[in-house]
Structure 1
Amino acid sequence: MGNKISKSNQSQNASILTPEQIQEYTEAFYIFDQAGDGEIEVASIWPMMSALGQCIPNTDLRRLMAYAKVKNTFSLKQFLKIQEMRLVEQKIKEKLVEAFKCYEVGGNFEETFDNIKNTLEEAQIDLSMGKFEELARETLEGEGDYRYEEFLKMVTNKVG
Structure 2
Amino acid sequence: MEFGLTEEQVRVYTEAFNDMDKNHSGVLQPTELGVLMRSRGHTLSDEDMRDLAADRHGTVTLADFLQIMAKREQDVVLQQKLAQAFAVFDKDGSGFISVNAESDFRKQMTSLGSNPFTDEQFDNFLSEYRAEAASQHPAEQDGLVDYQEFIKLMLRKAP
If the length of structure 2 is used for normalisation, what is the TM-score? 0.66
CA distance in 2, matches of 1:91, 1:112: 22
Question: Would you identify which runs of 4 or more consecutive aligned residues in structure 1 move more than 4 Å?
Answer: 136-139, 141-144
Query: RMSD of aligned C-alpha atoms?
Result: 3.3
Structure 1, 25-34 or 141-150: larger mean CA deviation? 141-150
For 2:42, the aligned partner's letter is C
CA distance in 2, matches of 1:73, 1:152: 30
User: 2:77 corresponds to which residue?
Assistant: 91
1:49 aligns with 2:37: yes
User: 1:31 corresponds to which residue?
Assistant: 19
Per-residue CA deviations over 1:78-113 (Å, capped at 9, x if unaligned) read 000000111112222222222222223298437742
Structure 1, 81-90 or 13-22: larger mean CA deviation? 13-22
CA distance in 2, matches of 1:94, 1:149: 10
Check conservation: 2:28, 2:61, Cα contact below 8 A: yes
Shift in CA distance, 95/63, structure 1 to aligned 2, threshold 3 Å: farther
What SS does the aligned partner of 1:104 have? Answer: coil
CA distance in 1, matches of 2:110, 2:74: 20
Question: Matches of residues 4-153 of structure 1 in structure 2 within 5 Å?
Answer: 13-52=1-40, 54-58=41-45, 60-68=48-56, 70=57, 72-105=58-91, 108-109=104-105, 112-113=108-109, 128-130=117-119, 131-136=121-126, 139=130, 140=139, 142-153=141-152
Q: Tell which has more relative contact order, 1 or 2 (C-alpha 8 A, sep 6+).
A: 2
Aligned residues: 138
> Which ranges in structure 1 are unaligned for 5 or more consecutive residues?
1-12
Shift in CA distance, 93/51, structure 1 to aligned 2, threshold 3 Å: closer
> Which ranges in structure 2 are unaligned for 5 or more consecutive residues?
92-97, 131-138
Per-residue CA deviations over 1:35-94 (Å, capped at 9, x if unaligned) read 312111111113223333x131315444433432x2x11100000000011111222222
CA distance in 2, matches of 1:82, 1:30: 16
Shift in CA distance, 80/32, structure 1 to aligned 2, threshold 3 Å: same
Check conservation: 1:33, 1:39, Cα contact below 8 A: yes
If the length of structure 1 is used for normalisation, what is the TM-score? 0.65
User: 2:153 corresponds to which residue?
Assistant: 154
